[in-house]
Structure 1
Amino acid sequence: MILHEFIDYDTLKLIWWVLLGVLLIGFAVTDGFDMGVGTLLPFAARTDMERRIAINTIAPVWEGNQVWFILGGGAIFAAWPPLYAVSFSGFYIAMFLILAALILRPVGFKYRSKRDDPRWREMWDWALFIGGFVPALVFGVAVGNVLQGVPFRLSDELRPFYEGGFFGLLNPFALLCGVLSVAMLVMHGGAWLGLKATGMVARRARDYGVLAAAAVIVLFALGGVWIWLGIDGYRITAGITPDMASNPLRKEVAVEPGLWFANYAIYPWMLIAPAMGFLGALGALLGLLRGREISTFLFSKLSVVGIISTVGLSMFPFILPSSIDPRSSLTVWDSGSSHSTLFNMLVATAIFLPLILAYTSWVYKVLWGKVTAKDIEDSQDTAY
């Protein structure tokens, strides 16, 4: 018997749906505080030395953190080819904005301290701000549009056609999700600076983090009410089985308000996700107010995990619903790669993901501790 036949095709699809969520959450939890620090940089750090302190809390780790983004994109490409084709073409301008903003980050790190000129350094400080704020906003806007359904359809030959425009993505609900994403990562960045920075940088970061955590609680609740009252959800009504070959057009889909909450009635344990989102943000808020460090950062992580998990669990089994042709919607069961592809990728992931986790843990252990002005003065040749 071929080895990959020991794992059912439908089980592999479910495993890769979970792994995709793990990779996206890993990116948000790790690189998320990098983006949060970049967003806070012009506000929490006001002198050149303060900004160098803030930058040096993330400069040694951001490249490793961004690996999760690359892994997530690779997983979408290999495990869910229709999802990659539709999302990366339909959201092309949005993706371009994200990549352009992310490119500013390494350039800003490398060039900011090359010249001892206040205007030069301020320019790169704002570049680092853009590198944090823009991706956080656009990722949230993208999620908001996915929850509403994306305007694409599949031809009978399964060719995708995207019929939306960039400015159509900037609708009120999507913008609310974008602001929630920014608030979530600013909270996370504030918790990180409270843990790693010193002096006024840590104090201001905690102050801004308190505001961001409060905004997360309010916006997350408002988004849930909005979805319940005014956003159509999707439900498969016929024509699909978990072990079917990839062909989204074989199913029938109903579209009704409130359907994104249906999974919580069927599987009450899923309520853990939104509870984590709220309780994590509340714990981070209280921790920031009381000046706690490690627990605050852990609560912030918990909130990020809960909020992102809420989106995935609410939509399951849909991964990209279509607003103009619900039958074309992509689901876990009908838009994955072949059985052998998913299995071979799973073997590779089982080997390399633990290595990545082990290396990342080792790096954070080595770099544990606060960044001070004295550290930067003593390391002029290596500090940013």
Structure 2
Amino acid sequence: MILHELMSYEALRFIWWLLIGVLLVGFAVTDGFDLGTNMLLPFAGRNDLERRVIINAVGPVWEGNQVWLILGGGAIFAAWPQLYAVSFSGFYLAMFAVLVPLILRPVAFKFRSKREEPAWRARWDWTLFLTGLVPSLIFGVAIGNVLQGVPFRLESDMRIFYEGSFLALLNPFALLCGLVSVAMLLMHGGAWLMLKAQGPVAERARSYGSVAALLTLVLYALAGLALWSWIDGYRVTSVLPTGGPSNPLLKTVAHQPGAWFANFAAHPWLWAAPGLGLAGALLAFVFMRARRGGAALLASALSIACIILGVGASMFPFILPSSLDPRASLTVWDSSSSHLTLFIMLVVTTLFIPIIVAYTAWVYKVLWGKVDADAIRDERGHAY
């Protein structure tokens, strides 16, 4: 309890904001190449054996990678209850559109090889393609809508009212952000297949991944330009106590053109995040053309991580702005759980995150190496 009293509410809120960012990056970088590989399945694999090689490149690790998504959802629920309430209720249909493909993915992995009929396997191959495409697109669309503001309001008793619709989420800027997400995960999947596959599969993955890297570069730059030119940001216009009560209605907020770039103007070193996002995509393209799969994978991971971190740096201290009632916008300083809750969770997280990272690293070490097409053909030790 002494340590609890020594750690200020402000520090705990900031630490948990950082941890949410780490969990989101962890999910995007690990499960991201699974989603990208699924999108490449019908194109990088031209026959049944090649497609089985692609499936077995991610089959042993996708479940472990998805743990980061579960951790992120749990952390939001416990650390930022108002954020969880608004996003998981207001974005219900969008969440459903993500969960259905994620549920279908293991079904497709398991059922695909139960029959040898080409039509049966082709249907499951396209199902796997959609289980990669749909979540990748929706995740980006969600970020695009958050940057524009979400149509919710709070009553004085903190009851939440969401007044948006699913179709309204599919606006031009949000779809542009969705395309950025699809492109960067395709890039990541291409780099992963270069590393894990051999022969024609690796070459096709290299070609598609190279195009995706260039698209990531171009689309991300266009999204940044659109954010600067067309999208008004949000700015707190009153005093916002960093250690005050979790009541978003105690502040005033205004729309302001270019507000999402104010943090970069005040702290120029933050430009490293979007800069490395662009540089990582460019390096991924260069390394793919040079047939350096490992370096391409690291570069694409750098690009994905910095693109996500760039959004967080741009929005801070906002975590969910409201387009209906800007003062109801949720920030790092006024929408968290209690001081004690954040502290207890931090202790638990400090204990368990290293265990998860160590176990994940061990699994990747054990499963390292190229997928052997001959072993798949002979059914030696492969699950899919």
Give SS of 2:237's match: strand
Partner of 1:263: 263
Partner of 2:379: 379
Using the TM superposition, give the Cα deviation of residue 382 of structure 1 relative to its aligned residue in structure 2, in angstroms.
3.4
For 1:77-226, list aligned pairs within 5 A. Answer: 77-226=77-226
1:275 aligns with 2:254: no
In structure 2, C-alpha distance between the alignment counterparts of 1:165 and 1:6, rounded to whole Å: 44
In structure 2, C-alpha distance between the alignment counterparts of 1:12 and 1:111, rounded to whole Å: 45
Residue deviations 1:78-130 (CA, integer Å, cap 9, x gap): 00000000001111000001000101110011111111111111111111111
For 1:306-321, list aligned pairs within 5 A. Answer: 306-321=306-321
Partner of 2:64: 64
2:49/2:377 contact within 8 Å kept: no
Residue deviations 1:277-327 (CA, integer Å, cap 9, x gap): 001000001111111111111000000001000111100000000011100
In structure 2, C-alpha distance between the alignment counterparts of 1:79 and 1:261, rounded to whole Å: 26
Give SS of 1:238's match: coil
Give SS of 1:184's match: helix
Partner of 1:234: 234
Q: CA RMSD in A?
A: 0.9
Q: Number of residue pairs matched?
A: 384
Give SS of 2:292's match: coil
In structure 2, C-alpha distance between the alignment counterparts of 1:46 and 1:154, rounded to whole Å: 53
% identical aligned pairs: 64
1:276/1:305 contact within 8 Å kept: no
In structure 2, C-alpha distance between the alignment counterparts of 1:172 and 1:302, rounded to whole Å: 27
1:183/1:215 contact within 8 Å kept: yes
Give SS of 1:121's match: helix
1:76/1:84 contact within 8 Å kept: yes
Partner of 2:330: 330
Q: In structure 1, list runs of 5 or more residues that go unmatched.
A: none
Equivalent AA in structure 1 for residue 141 of structure 2:
V
Give SS of 1:255's match: strand
Q: In structure 2, list runs of 5 or more residues that go unmatched.
A: none
Using the TM superposition, give the Cα deviation of residue 77 of structure 1 relative to its aligned residue in structure 2, in angstroms.
0.3
TM-score (norm 2): 0.99
Instruction: Report which stretch shifted further, 235-244 or 11-20.
Output: 235-244
Using the TM superposition, give the Cα deviation of residue 180 of structure 1 relative to its aligned residue in structure 2, in angstroms.
0.6
For 1:326-365, list aligned pairs within 5 A. Answer: 326-365=326-365
Instruction: Report which stretch shifted further, 24-33 or 373-382.
Output: 373-382
Using the TM superposition, give the Cα deviation of residue 350 of structure 1 relative to its aligned residue in structure 2, in angstroms.
0.3
Give SS of 2:123's match: helix
In structure 1, C-alpha distance between the alignment counterparts of 2:131 and 2:345, rounded to whole Å: 31
In structure 2, C-alpha distance between the alignment counterparts of 1:270 and 1:239, rounded to whole Å: 24
In structure 2, C-alpha distance between the alignment counterparts of 1:382 and 1:47, rounded to whole Å: 18
1:239/1:250 contact within 8 Å kept: no
1:105/1:131 contact within 8 Å kept: yes
Using the TM superposition, give the Cα deviation of residue 380 of structure 1 relative to its aligned residue in structure 2, in angstroms.
4.6
